[in-house]
C-alpha cells in the first residue's frame, strides 16, 4: 500500500505541475517505485516547500540555453527547429523538455533560466550547464561553471551568510558532467582501456566541486552518474559489430556499458567518502544508468515503440540506429513522425518523452533520501 500511495503521489505532483506549465508534456504512466526508502505524502509536501531553488551544473543533458548564448553556439542547430519542436526552441538538446525541467516541476518551481540569459529571474535558481562541457578541459569546464556559480551568488546575495541561507534551501544538481571527457576520446578511436585512465581525474574533479559548493553552504546535492552509453545510437553505430556476444538482451553494447558501470562505481565511492566527511549534508547519487535501462526495458509502458528504443528520431544514418549520415537539424534531415514514441532524439540526446521517463525515475530515487536527510537536520537542536 505504501508503494502504491507513493507512486500515486509522485504522479499527482508531476501532473499538477504540468498543468501549471501548459507547454510541458502531459503524458502520465504507471510504474514501479525505485528504492526502498518510502516517505509519507505529508513529508513529501514538506520537502517541496523546503526546496526553493535549484542550481544545475552539467553538459548538453542539462543545458537550457547557455550554449546558444555563446559566440560559437548562436547559429548552431540547437537554437532552431527541429530542436524544441515539442516545446519551442530554447537551446535544449532535445525536441522539448529535459530532466531538470521535470525536477523543477516536481518542486513547484519555474523552469530554470540559463545563467547567460542576463536579466532573467534567478530567484528560484539558475542553470550553468553548457552543451559540450567537460569535467576537465578548457571549454566550459566544471571549473568555469563554478566560477559563474560563485559570481552569481556573490552579486545576488552579497555576503557569505546570505549565500549560505540561500543554499540551505536549495537543491544542487552536480551534473551529469564527465561524459564528454570520455565521448571525445572514444570518438577519436581510443580504446576502453585508454579512456579508463581518465576516470580517476574526472571523479576527483567532481568530488572537488562538491566540496566547493558545500563550503559555500549547500546541504542538498544530487550527483548523477553516466548513462549506459552502450545503448546510445552514437556508440551503437560507431562500434557496431557482427559479434552478437557483444550485445546484451536490450541490444546495447556490453563493453561500453561496463565502462559506464565502472565509472559510476568509482563515482559512488567518492560520494560515500564525502558523505562520511559531511554527515549533515545530503549527498545523493543520481543513477542515470539504471533509470535509462528501466525506460528502455519498459518502453511499451511509456508509449514508446519497443523496437525503436535504440533508434534516433531526428537525422539519418544507413544503419539500424538511424545515426551518422545526416545530423539532426541539417538541411533535409528527416524527423520521425512522433518523437514521443522514441527514446533517442538525435542519436546522442533523448526525446522529451525519454527525458521524462528518466526524470521520473530519478525523482523516485533521490526524493525519499533528500527528505529523510532534511527531516533529520530539522530535528537537530540549534546550537
Give the active site residues. Answer: 60, 346, 349
| Contact yes or no for 304/342 (Cβ under 8 A) | yes
Q: How far, rounded to the nearest angstrom, does the alpha carbon of residue 287 sit from its chain's CA centroid?
A: 10
Q: How many angstroms separate the first and last alpha carbons of the chain?
A: 39
Residue with cell 541490444: 251
Q: Which three cell numbers stand for residue 82?
A: 527541429
Cell of 208: 572537488
* SS3 category, 58: coil
Of the candidates 283, 335, 292, which has an alpha carbon nearest to the alpha carbon of residue 314? 335
Cα separation of 101 and 105, whole Å? 6
- % helix / strand / coil in the chain, to the nearest 5? 50, 10, 45
User: What 3-state class would DSSP assign to 54?
Assistant: strand
Amino acid at each position: 500500500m505504501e508503494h502504491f500511495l507513493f507512486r500515486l503521489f509522485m504522479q499527482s505532483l508531476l501532473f499538477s505541475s504540468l498543468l501549471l506549465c501548459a507547454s510541458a508534456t502531459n503524458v502520465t504512466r504507471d510504474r514501479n517505485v525505485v528504492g526502498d526508502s518510502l516517505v509519507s505524502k505529508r513529508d513529501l509536501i514538506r520537502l517541496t516547500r523546503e526546496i526553493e531553488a535549484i542550481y544545475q551544473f552539467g553538459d548538453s543533458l542539462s543545458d537550457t540555453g547557455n550554449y546558444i548564448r555563446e559566440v560559437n553556439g548562436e547559429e548552431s542547430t540547437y537554437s532552431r527547429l527541429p530542436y524544441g519542436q515539442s516545446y519551442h526552441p530554447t537551446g535544449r538538446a532535445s525536441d522539448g523538455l529535459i530532466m531538470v525541467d521535470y525536477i523543477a516541476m516536481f518542486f513547484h518551481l519555474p523552469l530554470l533560466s540559463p545563467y547567460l540569459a542576463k536579466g532573467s529571474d534567478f530567484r528560484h535558481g539558475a542553470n550553468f550547464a553548457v552543451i559540450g562541457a567537460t569535467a576537465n578541459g578548457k571549454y566550459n569546464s566544471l571549473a568555469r561553471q563554478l566560477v559563474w556559480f560563485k559570481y552569481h551568488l556573490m552579486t545576488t546575495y552579497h555576503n557569505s551568510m546570505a549565500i549560505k541561507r540561500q543554499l540551505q534551501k536549495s537543491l544542487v544538481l552536480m551534473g551529469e558532467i564527465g561524459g564528454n571527457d570520455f565521448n571525445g576520446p572514444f570518438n577519436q578511436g581510443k580504446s576502453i582501456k585508454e579512456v579508463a585512465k581518465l576516470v580517476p581525474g574526472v571523479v576527483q574533479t567532481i568530488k572537488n566541486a562538491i566540496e566547493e559548493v558545500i563550503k559555500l553552504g549547500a546541504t542538498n546535492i544530487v550527483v548523477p552518474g553516466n548513462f549506459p552509453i552502450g545503448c546510445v545510437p552514437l556508440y551503437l553505430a560507431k562500434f557496431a559489430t557482427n559479434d552478437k556476444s557483444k550485445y546484451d538482451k536490450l541490444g546495447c553494447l556490453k563493453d561500453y556499458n561496463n565502462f559506464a558501470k565502472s565509472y559510476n562505481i568509482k563515482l559512488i565511492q567518492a560520494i560515500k567518502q564525502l558523505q562520511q566527511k559531511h554527515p549533515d549534508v545530503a549527498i545523493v547519487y543520481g543513477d542515470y544508468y539504471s533509470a535509462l535501462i528501466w525506460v528502455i526495458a519498459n518502453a511499451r509502458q511509456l508509449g514508446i515503440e519497443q523496437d525503436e528504443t535504440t533508434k534516433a528520431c531526428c537525422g539519418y544514418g544507413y544503419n539500424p540506429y538511424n545515426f551518422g549520415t545526416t545530423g539532426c537539424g541539417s538541411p533535409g534531415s528527416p524527423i520521425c513522425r512522433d518523437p514521443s514514441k522514441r527514446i533517442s532524439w538525435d542519436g546522442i540526446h533523448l526525446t522529451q518523452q525519454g527525458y521524462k521517463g528518466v526524470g521520473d525515475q530519478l525523482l523516485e530515487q533521490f526524493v525519499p533520501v533528500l527528505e529523510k536527510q532534511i527531516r533529520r537536520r530539522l530535528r537537530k537542536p540549534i546550537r
